[in-house]
Chains A and B, each alone.
Chain A
Amino acid sequence: MRGSITSETIKQIRKNKTALFGLFLVVMLVFVGVFAPWVAPYDPYDADLDISLHPPSYQHWLGTDEEGRDVLSRIIYGARISLKVGIIASSISLLIGAILGLIAGFFRGWTETIIMRFTDVMFGFPALLFMIGITAAVPRPSIEVAMLAIGLVSWPGMARIMRAQVLTIIEQEYVTAARSLGYSQIRIIMRHVLPNSLAPVIVAFTMSIAGAVMAEASLSFIGLGAQPPEPSWGSMIAFGRMHLRGEWWISVFPGLAVAVMVIGFNLFGEGLRDALDPTMRGRGNN
């Protein structure tokens, strides 16, 4: 039965042009990131002061930065950092959110009240400021700390979705049947609840990658994420700030890269949602 859901999902996505466009962007960026050493025309760390601040040209399509490094190559390598942070940070928040949501929805009662109140509290913090607070609490900022901070702050949405999903599933007949057969709680959770609640979680995961990519760029822009000379898009934009009078290419192109990645994951996530949830079909992308 699971197989038919998957093929139905693929069929739905293939019909959805916007989702396909998102998928195309994601696949392209993953390809560029994974094969960066072959795709990038230059070494992203290779400084050459003779060609410092050159505008876009035939040799350097997107120009060079202050130290004469090729902006295009740095953007290509930057895709690796953004993807890594996006996927790992979202996995952290998925893990925390899904487990808490599952426990809350399955066990109900006081456990649920405490978990959901905690979720409300976490929702109460403006996310970026909270992430800044965490990264500031650590002696030395790094991309790993930023990743952890993003994951630790972004889970409440996931927890709410998971709980709502579990609440509807445990009302289903097959769960009641499993219970009356005397199966253990663990077995019911692993065999019935978890597999059937995955769809919206996968959608939320895809979209949270977009959020994490944006958050990483923001933290790195402030200086609390990737450290120089790492080619993170956020810190590239921050360095480009010094050259806004003439050398616009240093900051404009990395920002465009962030936007493209965010658009890719969001559009693909929206497409997945429409494909997985029949009631949403046809809305929002007409």
Chain B
Amino acid sequence: MLQYILNRFAQLVPVILGIILLTFILMYIVPGDPVLSMVGERYEEETLERLREQFHLNDALYKQFGHYLWGLLHGDLGVSFISQKPVTEMIMERFPATMLLATGAMFVSILLGISVGVVSAIKPHSWLDRTTMGIALLGVSAPVFWVGLLMVIGARAVGWPYLTGYGCLPYLILPAITLGTRSAAFLARVTRANMLEVLSQDYVRTAKAKGLSNFIVVVKHALKNTLIPVITIIGVDFGSYLSGAVLTESIFNWPGIGRLALNAILKRDFPVIQGVVLVTALIFVTANFIVDILYGVIDPRIRLGSKK
């Protein structure tokens, strides 16, 4: 098991280094002088020069990268061009809100996705199955921000008071449903397909032949064996929540890193954009890493196969 984890970890390191390098290059090739956007309309040449010195913009590219990397090792993501605050601090302030939103979305996705998938699979081709799968197809294909707007329209129509805000749990409900809808729908489709496949296996037939009730067969045998693909989806989706958070947070005025990124983009505040892209990418690969490890825990075949 340890060998397996170490192997996976060894694959992770170059990916992380590559991500850091690519984020750095992306922001380096930005046309225009970043210092100019900092000083505004009226400025003196000396101020520009001083700022360039301060941000090491006159150094050679490799030196700048070295500086960047050194800063990263100390948890330093640079300073915002606009607010002059440390980017790390700005991200840390807003990070809990995004994590809360992502966790809420995951909760919605698992609860809704798995239960709908199981219910559909128990009676395939029934009207219930067809209706829920039709809705799931729409859910997979609809844009996140559109689902969000539908939520707002619906909430206004019924007079739901917790529309945009932050601070108590009811405010989380609409954003979490919005962000979780897509993966819930996807999860429902995958769970159903896997359940149908597992339910047709010999051991399930054996279990039924033993006289076990339908419920026990589904929960104890079938559900457990559909978990592997489901875990992958949850893990991969967790990363995509961070992307979706940009859109969801903007609709519901949620004070997370998605809205931070969006504001930074509108003001062309590059250190902040760079910081958010880097942090989310790192979370994304870490989530995938954890999924891989969980795989190994659940299914020994994967763990042992990797040794070859």
* Chain A residues in the interface with B (C-beta under 8 A): 117-118, 120-122, 124-130, 132-134, 136-139, 210, 214, 217-218, 221-224, 234, 237, 240-241, 244-245, 248, 251-252, 255, 258-260, 262-263, 266, 283-284, 286
Contact = CB atoms under 8 A, between A and B. Distances in A.
Contacts of A127: 240, 243
A237 B143 contact: yes
Given A128-B244, A129-B242, A132-B261, A221 B145 contact: yes
Given A124-B284, A129-B246, A237 B149 contact: yes
A124 B143 contact: no
19 contacts: A120-B11, A120-B15, A124-B15, A125-B281, A125-B284, A127-B240, A128-B243, A137-B29, A139-B31, A217-B143, A218-B143, A221-B247, A237-B145, A237-B146, A245-B156, A258-B142, A262-B142, A284-B193, A286-B124
B246 to A, nearest CB: 7
B273 interface: yes
Q: Is the interface of B mostly helix, strand, loop or mixed?
A: helix
B170 to A, nearest CB: 19
Contacts of B18: 117-118, 120-121, 124
B149 A240 contact: yes
Given A117-B15, A124-B15, A133-B277, A251 B30 contact: no
Nearest to A245: B156
Interface string B276-308: 110011001100100000000000000000000
B19 to A, nearest CB: 5
A117 B14 contact: yes
B19 A125 contact: yes
Contacts of A286: 124, 196
Nearest to B262: A222
Contact of B265 (A132, A237, A244, A283): A132
Contacts of B143: 214, 217-218, 221, 234, 237, 255, 258-259
Interface string B149-162: 11011001000000
Most chain A CB neighbours (cut-off 10 Å) among B23, B26, B288: B26
A252 B150 contact: yes
Contact of B280 (A129, A222, A244): A129
B277 A259 contact: no
Given A121-B22, A237-B145, A251-B149, A136 B273 contact: yes
- 4 tightest CB-CB pairs across the interface, nearest first? A255-B146, A121-B18, A126-B243, A262-B141
Interface of B: 11, 14-16, 18-19, 22-23, 26-27, 29-32, 124, 137-138, 140-146, 149-150, 152-153, 156, 193, 196-197, 239-240, 242-244, 246-247, 250-251, 261-262, 265-266, 268, 273, 276-277, 280-281, 284-285, 288
Contact of A129 (B138, B243, B285): B243
Contacts of B243: 126-129
A284 B246 CA distance: 32
Given A125-B277, A126-B242, A132-B273, 14 more contacts: A124-B281, A125-B22, A125-B284, A126-B243, A133-B26, A136-B273, A137-B26, A218-B144, A218-B145, A222-B247, A222-B250, A224-B265, A251-B146, A258-B146
A112 B250 CA distance: 40
B131 to A, nearest CB: 16
Contacts of A118: 18
B193 A241 contact: no
A136 B265 contact: yes
B146 A121 contact: no
B182 to A, nearest CB: 10
B83 to A, nearest CB: 17
A126 B276 CA distance: 11
Contacts of B153: 244, 248, 252
Contacts of B19: 121, 124-125
Contacts of A251: 146, 149
A255 B181 CA distance: 15
A128 B249 CA distance: 14
A214 B279 CA distance: 24
